[in-house]
Structure 1
Amino acid sequence: MPVPLIYLVEDDPDIRTLVRALLVREGMACETADGAAAFWALMERRRPDLVILDIMMPGEDGLSICRRLQAGHAIPVLIASARGEPMDRVIGLEIGADDYLAKPFEPREFVARVRALLRRRARQEGPTTARVVSFSGWRLDLGARALTSPAQETVELTTGEFDLLSVFINRPRQVLSRDDIMDILKGRQAEAFDRSIDIQVSRLRRKLGDDPQAPVVIRTVRNAGYLFTPAVEAGS
């Protein structure tokens, strides 16, 4: 099994050394960058399996890197930051991060979250993803991770949005609670109160042109969860 490659972007040299040593000890390859310039240089050489970002860095900060990364690359992002207020977490998830962990963190939890993101990526790249489905005029190529609108326009999806849409299209017309979705996406590494699902649903609705005030594609079922209403058909 290939060793996963992780890029760690952290301007504190002590934290950089400690986190890299932790990941290597857990059987992962880790290359580090002390800021945006070094990170983008790494990206020119090879695409990683996961990017771990600090937020507060001189020059281009972690939020800007995450935004640019999700706009052009389908790579999972874990933000690990000393800014641990709920609004910081919401902002990080809104711009496309797949998970957010506040510093200082417990090493075992950190490793568990990293492994959960890597497992999700591995499942997505397995042989079962090489298929195409359609719903309400939309076309999703699961192998290429490409979404095409009824107007034949390509719609860019972040890793989190693609993951969530994959959950829905594999369970159409089935009410899924937030816990159901969290279990599918993250296992039991999710926190008891985690707004990331609601945030991802909101973002995915916008991408699908679903009216947030009266959504018809991804309906909110009161006190139950979410319902993906279109019929999903296999297609080429």
Structure 2
Amino acid sequence: MTQSHIAVLDDEPEIRRMLADALTEAGYRVTTFARATEFEAALNRGTPDVCLVDLGLPDRDGLAVVHRLALESGAAIIIISGRAQVQDRVTGLELGADDYIIKPFEPAEVVARVRARLRKGRGEAAPRAPQVARFNGWRAEFDRYVLVAADGTEVPFSHAEGEVLRMFLDSPKRLISRAQMQETLGGAAGESFDRAMDVRISRLRTKLGEDPKNPHLIKTIYGAGYIFLGEVSWT
């Protein structure tokens, strides 16, 4: 089995060393970076499976790094930060992060969160899942993180948006409750999770050309959850 690659972006040497030791011991290949410029240059040579990103960076706004990663890389993103306010967590998740860990933390918790993201995003011990879905004139290519319209126009989506889209495409015409979403996608239930889901679903609707006031594919069932009404086939 190929080693999963974990990138750590944090300007504190002790944090980088602690995470590198714990993740290496857990069997992962780890690369660490102290500055965003070094990290982004390395992305041009290859995309890690999971990126651990601190928000307090010396040369770049950490949230801007997270947003760019979510739009361009397809990597799973876990924020590690001393910012504990709910709004900080909500903002990070809205910009495309998959998880948020507050400093100080135990290395074992980070390893567990990384392992969970890999299981959900790629299925470490499971057969490779289908990567292309067709529905209502659209094609979703999960290996490239793009939606392809009938005229060939490509619309990129983030890793986090892709998790929500796959959840809908795996269960068309079935009600999916908030509790089911939390169980499927992981993360702590509560205001920040609900807000992040609302934002991701809103962005998916926009990318699919849905009328936000009257969407035809992703319908909100108020007080119950969501339902995807498209006809779906996987290849």
Above 0.5 in TM-score?
yes
What aligned pairs does 1:35-184 form with structure 2 within 5 A after superposition?
35-123=35-123, 126-130=127-131, 132-184=132-184
Measured in 2, the distance between the counterparts of 1:84 and 1:203 equals: 26
Could you tell me the percent identity over the aligned residues? 36
Measured in 1, the distance between the counterparts of 2:151 and 2:88 equals: 36
Measured in 2, the distance between the counterparts of 1:203 and 1:163 equals: 13
* 2:206 aligned with 1:206: yes
Q: Deviations over 1:138-188 (max 9, x none)?
A: 1123444431124431010000111111111110010001221222223xx
* 2:193 aligned with 1:192: no
Offset of residue 87 of structure 1 = 1.1
Q: Which consecutive residues of structure 1, in runs of 5 or more, have no partner in the other structure?
A: none
Measured in 2, the distance between the counterparts of 1:233 and 1:2 equals: 29
Measured in 2, the distance between the counterparts of 1:3 and 1:11 equals: 25
Query: 208-217 vs 65-74, which deviates more?
Result: 208-217
Measured in 2, the distance between the counterparts of 1:129 and 1:51 equals: 24
Look up the SS of the partner of 2:129 in the other structure: helix
Query: 215-224 vs 204-213, which deviates more?
Result: 204-213
Normalising by structure 1, report the TM-score: 0.89
What is the alpha-carbon root mean square deviation over aligned residues? 2.1
| Deviating 4+ runs (over 4 angstroms) | none
Task: Specify the alignment match of 1:24 in structure 2.
Answer: 24
Aligned length: 231
* Structure 2 counterpart of 1:128, one-letter code: A
Measured in 2, the distance between the counterparts of 1:213 and 1:67 equals: 26
* Structure 1 counterpart of 2:74, one-letter code: A
Measured in 2, the distance between the counterparts of 1:142 and 1:58 equals: 34
Offset of residue 234 of structure 1 = 4.7
Measured in 2, the distance between the counterparts of 1:202 and 1:14 equals: 39
Offset of residue 104 of structure 1 = 1.7
Look up the SS of the partner of 1:230 in the other structure: coil
Measured in 1, the distance between the counterparts of 2:84 and 2:149 equals: 37
Q: Which consecutive residues of structure 2, in runs of 5 or more, have no partner in the other structure?
A: none
Measured in 2, the distance between the counterparts of 1:208 and 1:66 equals: 23
Measured in 2, the distance between the counterparts of 1:155 and 1:45 equals: 23
Is 2:121–2:163's contact at 8 Å kept on the other side of the alignment? no
Measured in 1, the distance between the counterparts of 2:105 and 2:213 equals: 37
Normalising by structure 2, report the TM-score: 0.89
Task: Specify the alignment match of 1:217 in structure 2.
Answer: 217
- Cα 1:114–1:106 change in 2 (3 A) is same
* Structure 1 counterpart of 2:81, one-letter code: S
* Structure 2 counterpart of 1:33, one-letter code: F
Q: Deviations over 1:90-126 (max 9, x none)?
A: 1111211111122122433322211111112323995
- Cα 1:69–1:234 change in 2 (3 A) is closer
